[in-house]
Amino acid sequence: MKRKLLPLSLSICLLVASAWGYANDLPALGQGKATHQSGVHSAVNSVFMGGIAVNGGIPSQSITQKLADPVDIQGNIMVDPADVGKTVDIIVYAKFKLEPTGDAYYFMLRKLPEGGFDIPLWNHKVESLAAFDTVTLGETQTVSLYKGNFVATGLLDVYFGYLTTAEDGSKTLVTNPEPIAIRINANEAPPSPSGDFLASYNFRPNPNGYGFENYGNDDKSAMDLTAEDMIALFGRDKVCRATTGDCVLNATAQEWVEKQIKGMDGGHCEGMAVTSLRILQGLDFKGKKLPTDFQAGANATYELNKESVRNYIAYYFVTQYFSEVTAATIRNKPSVVLDTLIDGMRNNMLYSVGFYQPEYKAGHAVTPYAVQQKSDSEFWIYVYDNNYPNDNNRVIKVDKVADTWVYEGGATIPGEPVSEYRGNATTLTLELTPQSAREGMFKCPFCADSADSNVRAATDPKMLEVAMTGAGSLMVQLADNRRVGYDPLSGQFVNEIEQAQKVNIKGGLGENIPPRISIPYPTDNQPILIFITGKEAQEESLTDVVVTAPSFVVGFEGIYLDPDEVLMISLRPDGKELSFLASADGETPDMFMSFDPENTANAGYMFDVGGISLDAGKTVTFTLDNGALLVRDDDGNTDAYDIDITRIDNNGKQTFKKEDVAVSANAVARIRFEDWTGDSGNITLQLDEEADGFEDDTVIPLN
């Protein structure tokens, strides 16, 4: 990457009075995130708002604009009462990528002693941040970030906040958790390709591709998959509490869908590649086939806005994980993939294309639409890349003689950087998935009984799946020491477990989310070890670890994973006991468990326990036992638990929440919930401080 990036960042014409009205007009960016210079995160009650207005329009959290468009970026902080009155440095920084799958560079806005600002690179260390301004915090703090024009294309995530200094001189950064996200495109679209095609579909990026680019999650993502979608994917009898009336999702179905949505923050490329082809095919989705069915007045896919199809895109995004789809995917030598695609184009067999960087990193899905022969050995596959709307010159170059491929993307234009997406006859990193594989119902990964004549994979073995939602690496180890996944010691992918499988992830925004690992369900109920490492993350990664098996979905959420850090989770295969070993900085994620009852007349439950702080190297263990949740840790400190229990029966959901539940040092906490019906009965707490059981311990009502 060239230093030509340096002028991009914010091209400083700062602190110009804003034309916007009140801070309340700004989009919500969430409750602030506090990060100490040691890397430890903590809770903070500051609330952030902010946005970008283009051409004098309404401020938005996320926007796509042309390079020539003038912008105004503003922020506002409702300051944590504990920080009001402190003298702090106001901080503004940005993450920049030249392209969605490219390397990230951080810049900060630094106030100069002689006046004005410059924009140096930032090394991503809290103690290295320079002041944008120095202020005494009031209850509300307005930050005028930028007004003017950008000077280069790319992707910019803008953050702002304040830097406090403790008595010992250490610093803590409080900043917005969700960035102001800006996509800066060229003023003119690239020209169409010229020359004859060897084979093609009746598809072009415009009008058949989307006019918006690939995206992560936002404040509307939670509704991108619904109970209706779950019924269509797996069948009503698999996911709903009752076979008639409004669908109340089972506990495991509810947990599963929430975690799938969370995993889409790395991009929606798979769903965009598939659905753009489905609209071309005229295939039905909830009674909609044509662009005008999704959005009134839209005559082409390119005219659709994201809101009109985000449910459609999310639905087909998750199909990449299902065994029926992975089994149908063609992974072969580049020459074979090319010939298969050409044959499909000539015979109206439609495929999406998946490809990866070496070792299956940064997976991406695109829509092929034409093949052009450039020489005796070189062939170009033209693709609609959903990271680049209205771009006709994105190509995968295949050399049939050398049996290699490279995704040059825009490198048909001289001077563009060489792609890291490349492979050969042995890497198997270029693949085709037929559209036909995504029709019908699928085997349910979390259902107690997936045998169903309507499900194509009903004969597959019962599996236990482990997945991460963020960047990093993953390995699973059985009690007999057999392993599958990325070995952090050797740096190699290993597979010593018969019938174990991996599913490579295609999100498209360059996140190194590791493959999902599935193993045959262990019958001995001996603990499984799960190792996660930040080795494949360029920076600190925020991830969940999700374990899915028939009748349960469990795991840990909110894991901050540093580069080269290795963390360990222990899991009993029935899902009813799991442990987390704290890392060197002692950060502890929240635990979640969801279970459906063996007797469907009984209630299902979802549990979430947070607020636990462990010393480095200490362990916390959660166990479900006879209508109670047991929590114990070995760090010898007093804790304050945040407890969230949801009970689900045929009538719906009832939720209990209680924060800061005091637990004395060295005590085992028993949270009994089986007598609680939502409308009556108690949730109680007992603390076993003598390690002699709970018979003589006081019962404390929590509700």
Please check the confidence at residue 415 and state whether its pLDDT lies above 50.
Answer: no
pLDDT digits (tens, 9 = 90+) for 475-484: 999 999 999 9
CB-CB contact of 446 with 553 (8 Å): yes
Please check the confidence at residue 98 and state whether its pLDDT lies above 70.
Answer: yes
pLDDT digits (tens, 9 = 90+) for 437-493: 999 999 999 998 654 434 444 456 799 999 999 999 999 999 999 999 999 888 889
Instruction: 393-398: list long-range contacts, CB under 8 Å, 24+ apart.
Output: 393/190, 393/191, 393/193, 394/205, 394/366, 396/353, 396/355, 396/368, 396/430, 398/334, 398/335, 398/337, 398/338
Model confidence at 563, pLDDT cuts 50, 70, 90, reads confident
* Token pair belonging to 349: 């067999």
Residue position matching structure tokens 């114990």? 632
Residue 285 corresponds to which amino acid?
Answer: F
pLDDT digits (tens, 9 = 90+) for 2-49: 333 333 344 433 333 333 444 558 999 999 999 999 988 988 999 999
Model confidence at 502, pLDDT cuts 50, 70, 90, reads very high
Domain extent listing, the chain: 3-185, 199-215+267-438
Q: Of 26, 449, 367, whose CA–CA distance to 201 is shortest?
A: 367
Q: Give the contacts of 21 (CB within 8 A, at least 6 positions apart).
A: none
Q: Give the contacts of 68 (CB within 8 A, at least 6 positions apart).
A: 149, 187
- With b for 16 or more beta-carbon neighbours within 10 A and e for fewer, the 364-395 pattern comes to bbbbbbbbbbeeeeebbbbbbbbbbbbbbbbb
The answer to whether the Cα torsion of 111, 114, 119, 120 is positive or negative is negative
For the segment 282-311, the average pLDDT, to the nearest whole number, is 98
| Complete edge-to-edge strand list for the sheet that includes strand 463-468 | 501-503, 516-520, 463-468, 541-549, 552-561, 590-595, 604-610, 639-649, 652-663
Please check the confidence at residue 615 and state whether its pLDDT lies above 50.
Answer: yes
pLDDT digits (tens, 9 = 90+) for 647-679: 999 989 999 999 999 999 989 999 999 999 988
Model confidence at 617, pLDDT cuts 50, 70, 90, reads confident
DSSP element (H, E) containing 356: strand 351-357
Coil, strand or helix at 649: strand
What is residue 614's predicted lDDT score, i.e. its pLDDT?
85
Model confidence at 588, pLDDT cuts 50, 70, 90, reads confident
- How far is residue 6 from each of residues 94, 107, 133, 348, 414, measured CA to CA in Å? 12, 8, 21, 47, 21
Please check the confidence at residue 114 and state whether its pLDDT lies above 90.
Answer: no
For the segment 553-558, the average pLDDT, to the nearest whole number, is 96
Please check the confidence at residue 171 and state whether its pLDDT lies above 50.
Answer: yes
**Distance of alpha carbon 175 from alpha carbon 178, whole angstroms:** 9
Q: How many CA atoms lie within 13 A of 58 on its CB side?
A: 4
Does domain 3-185 fall under CATH 2.20.25? My reply is no
DSSP 8-state class, residue 334: H
Q: Poorest-confidence range of 150-154, 351-355, 453-457? A: 453-457
What is residue 3's predicted lDDT score, i.e. its pLDDT?
34
- Mean pLDDT, the chain, as a whole number? 90
What is residue 16's predicted lDDT score, i.e. its pLDDT?
33
